[in-house]
Amino acid sequence: MLVLRLLNVVAPAYFLCISLVTFVLQIFVFIPSMFRDPSTTPLFSPALLHGALFLFLSANALGNYVLVIQNSPEDLGKDFNLGKGAEVADWLDGSRSPGSALPGTHFCRLCARVTQRHDHHCFFTGNCIGSRNMRNFIMFCLYTSLACLDSLVAGMAYISATLSMSFADPLAFLTLLPHSISQFFSGALLSSEMFVILMLYLWLGIGLACAGFCCHQLLLILRGQTRYQVRKGMVMRARPWRDNLQEVFGKKWLLGLLIPVQNVESSYRRQKEK
C-alpha cells in the first residue's frame, strides 16, 4: 500500500515533467531546426502550422488531464453513511449484500471513497476514473497519443537531419538505440542528441500505451461495462451501443472532441435529483 501511495504521487509529477520536456524540445529545438528561417516564410508556413498543431494537441491533452483530476467520482459513502468502521470493511471484502449497492460500486483504498461505475484508479492522474470523468480520461489518452506521435515524427526528422541518417528502412529505428549507445560511450555522439533519441522511444511507448487504453476503453463503453465489472465478472443488462456512448460522451460529443469541456453528469446524480 505504501508503494502504491508513493506511485500515486510520483506518476503525476513524472507525466508533467515529460510534458514540459516535450514542449521545450518541440518549440525550441525541432521547429527551429526543421525550418531554418521562419521570418522569410508566409503566414501559413509549415513551421507555424506544425507549431499550431502541436499546441492544439498539447492543450487538449493537458486540459482533459486537469478535468480528470478536478471531476472526481462521487463519494457514495457519504450518501450511504459509510464510516471507517465495520461498514467499510464490508465493502472491502465483498460481504455486503448486492441489493444494498449500485452496480459497479467500489471502494478505492487510495482515494478512500466509494464510487459508482468505478473503472480503475489512474496513477498518472492520482484519481479514480468513474462516471464523471470517463470522457475526459478517454480524450486525455487520445490527445496524449497524438501529441506523442507528432513529437516522434518531429524528433525522427531532427535526428535524421542532425546525424545524416535515413529512416526509410523499417529496421533503422529498431537499431537506432543500440547503435547510438555505442556511439555515445565512444564519444561520437553528443549528450543532447542521445537525450533526443531516448525521448523518441519514450514517446513511442507512451503513445502506444495511451492509444491502447483509449481503444480498450471505447470497446468497454460500447458494451456498457467498466474494467472493474469485467474483472469481477459482473453481467450487465444489454443496452444499445448508442445509448452507452451517449451516457459517457453526452449529446454534445463533438464539442468534447475539439476542446476540453467538463464531463456530463453521472447517471447516479441524475437519478438522485429525480
- Region of poorest pLDDT, from 93-97, 165-169, 218-222, 245-249: 93-97
Q: Is residue 226 part of a domain?
A: yes
- Residue 93's pLDDT is what? 41
Q: Is residue 176 part of a domain?
A: yes
Q: Is residue 109 part of a domain?
A: no
Query: In this model, does residue 116 exceed pLDDT 50?
Result: yes
Overall average pLDDT of the 73-80 stretch: 62
According to the per-residue pLDDT averaged within each range, which of 25-34, 39-48, 167-176, 189-198 is highest?
A: 189-198
> Is 108 one of the annotated active-site residues of the chain?
no
User: What are the pLDDT digits (tens) for 27-68?
Assistant: 999 988 877 655 555 656 788 888 999 999 999 999 999 999
Q: Is residue 108 part of a domain?
A: no
Structural domain total, the chain: 1
Q: Is residue 123 part of a domain?
A: yes
**CA diameter of the chain:** 72
In the chain, the N- to C-terminal Cα span, in Å, equals 39
Distance from C-alpha of 67 to C-alpha of 122, rounded to nearest angstrom: 13
Q: Is residue 2 part of a domain?
A: yes
Q: Is residue 17 part of a domain?
A: yes
CA distances from 147 to 18, 61, 85, 140 (A): 12, 8, 45, 10
Name the catalytic one among 108, 111, 122, 128: 122
User: What three-state secondary structure class fits 274?
Assistant: coil
- Residue 76's pLDDT is what? 63
User: What are the pLDDT digits (tens) for 133-142?
Assistant: 899 999 999 9
What percent of the chain has a predicted confidence (pLDDT) above 70?
Answer: 80
* pLDDT class of 89 with cuts at 50, 70, 90: very low
Do the Cβ atoms of 86 and 123 come closer than 8 Å?
Answer: no
Short-list 268, 271, 270, 263, CA closest to 63:
263
* pLDDT class of 272 with cuts at 50, 70, 90: very low
Query: In this model, does residue 126 exceed pLDDT 80?
Result: yes
Per the prediction, the chain carries an average pLDDT of 81
- Residue 49's pLDDT is what? 87
Helix then strand then coil, % of the chain, to nearest 5: 65, 5, 30
* pLDDT class of 71 with cuts at 50, 70, 90: confident
Q: Is residue 92 part of a domain?
A: no
Which structural domain range is residue 177 located in? 1-35+43-73+118-269
Distance from C-alpha of 216 to C-alpha of 141, rounded to nearest angstrom: 11
